[in-house]
Chains A and B, each alone.
Chain A
Amino acid sequence: MTNIANVNLLLVDDEEEFITTLAERLGIRGIRCRTAFNGEDALKAVEADVPQVMILDVMMPGMRGLEVLERVKKSHPQIQVILLTGQGSTQDGIEGMRQGAFDYMIKPLNLDTLLNKISEAMAAQGNKG
């Protein structure tokens, strides 16, 4: 399993309580991450410091997750994106994977599964150089 303690991670979701609590839990596990609460801020955060892995909600108001994904993959194809979907929007997750997302997960999350996916995403990024 790839060591994820030093991952440059960006969490993007309009549900602020969800994403800040998740960031805090990851912090307890030694993983520092940045957060953005909408697509526009996410793109700015990417330009300010290119993350290795991005956790991205697909159902956000304003710029939707799949649009953010498209733009990010165009400008920084090396970023591995893990999409967050609800049960009713798994089709978006599948579509996102077609557009280059690394994987998708359904809310509510299982933290151990998320950590494994981040590790796999980092390994995949390493392979891409």
Chain B
Amino acid sequence: MKETEFLGRVTAIVMHDLQNVLAIIKEASGLIDDLLPMSKGLEPKRRDQFQHNLGHIKEQVDRGAKFTELLNSFGHSMEDCPEGADLESCARQIAFLSQRFARMKRIEFLVDPAEERQRVPHPRFQVMMAVFAVMEACLQELPALSKVHIRAEAVNHAPGLCFHWPDVLHGEDLALPIAAHTQGQNAGNLPPNAKVTSGERNASVCLSFA
């Protein structure tokens, strides 16, 4: 078993346990919600407080479920996938999982729907690692409050992902520095035959897989 497979399997096992934890919290809070209307002696204000906080628990369980779903899929991303990796789905997954990094820099990554599905013959974790490398470069170079749109599209007839920040003042000047973060000694973060170049649109870079 390879190291990546080992990490993936352990992650998937732990995620299963976490889903059970969330399932128990959801049912227990649901039970309290069921019982509240039967509690005759409870002041209306207190009842509202309970219900308000039960709402928070439900929201957080749903949030946790989304994280476990994507982290579980991430855990399985080390496994070979015969049909290859779907670029949009990889971008969506890693953008969601690493949203805290982006929030710390007050930058938002938005994955726009692709017009055409783009697939590459690489394991998904390699694609996600490459997307993450470009996201990190964006976080280093772009100013706070930037919004980066990511879209899967063909780049010079090769499958790729474009990262576009249309609302950043003088954003066109940042494409080369962002691409530079993934070159030279940092090129190892990209899978073989992948590269990051300035995009055709202003204020963008493209990650392409030849």
Residues of chain A within 8 A of B28, CB atoms compared = 17, 21
Residues of chain A within 8 A of B30, CB atoms compared = 21, 25, 111
B16 touches which of A28, A59, A109 (Cβ 8 Å): A59
Is A129 an interface position by the 8 A CB rule? no
Residues of chain A within 8 A of B65, CB atoms compared = 108
CB distance from B7 to the nearest CB of A (A): 14
Is B22 an interface position by the 8 A CB rule? yes
A108 touches which of B12, B61, B73 (Cβ 8 Å): B61
Is B123 an interface position by the 8 A CB rule? no
Residues of chain A within 8 A of B92, CB atoms compared = none
Is B23 an interface position by the 8 A CB rule? yes
Number of A-B contacts (CB under 8 A): 59
Interface centre among B15, B24, B28, B68 (most CB of A within 10 A): B24
Q: Is the CB of B22 within 8 A of A108?
A: yes
B69 closest partner in A (C-beta): A87
Which secondary structure dominates chain B's binding surface?
helix
Is B93 an interface position by the 8 A CB rule? no
Interface bracket on B: 20 to 34
Residues of chain A within 8 A of B75, CB atoms compared = 88
B34 touches which of A17, A28, A86, A87 (Cβ 8 Å): A28
**What CA separation (Å) do A21 and B75 show in the bound complex?**
30
Residues of chain A within 8 A of B183, CB atoms compared = none
Interface centre among A15, A24, A25, A107 (most CB of B within 10 A): A107
**What CA separation (Å) do A25 and B28 show in the bound complex?**
9
Q: Is the CB of A86 within 8 A of B27?
A: no
Q: Is the CB of A108 within 8 A of B16?
A: no
Interface string of B156-185 (1 = CB under 8 A from A): 000000000000000000000000000000
Which secondary structure dominates chain A's binding surface?
helix
Residues of chain B within 8 A of A18, CB atoms compared = 20, 23-24, 27
Interface residues of A in 18-32 (CB under 8 A from B): 18, 21-22, 24-25, 28
B23 touches which of A15, A24, A28 (Cβ 8 Å): A15
Q: Is the CB of B24 within 8 A of A15?
A: yes
Residues of chain A within 8 A of B151, CB atoms compared = none
Is A99 an interface position by the 8 A CB rule? no
Residues of B at the A interface (CB closer than 8 Å) are: 12, 15-16, 19-20, 22-28, 30-31, 34-35, 61, 65, 68-69, 72-73, 75-76
A to B CB contacts below 8 Å, 15 in the list:
A15-B23, A15-B24, A18-B20, A18-B24, A18-B27, A21-B31, A86-B72, A87-B19, A87-B69, A88-B73, A88-B75, A107-B19, A107-B20, A109-B23, A111-B30
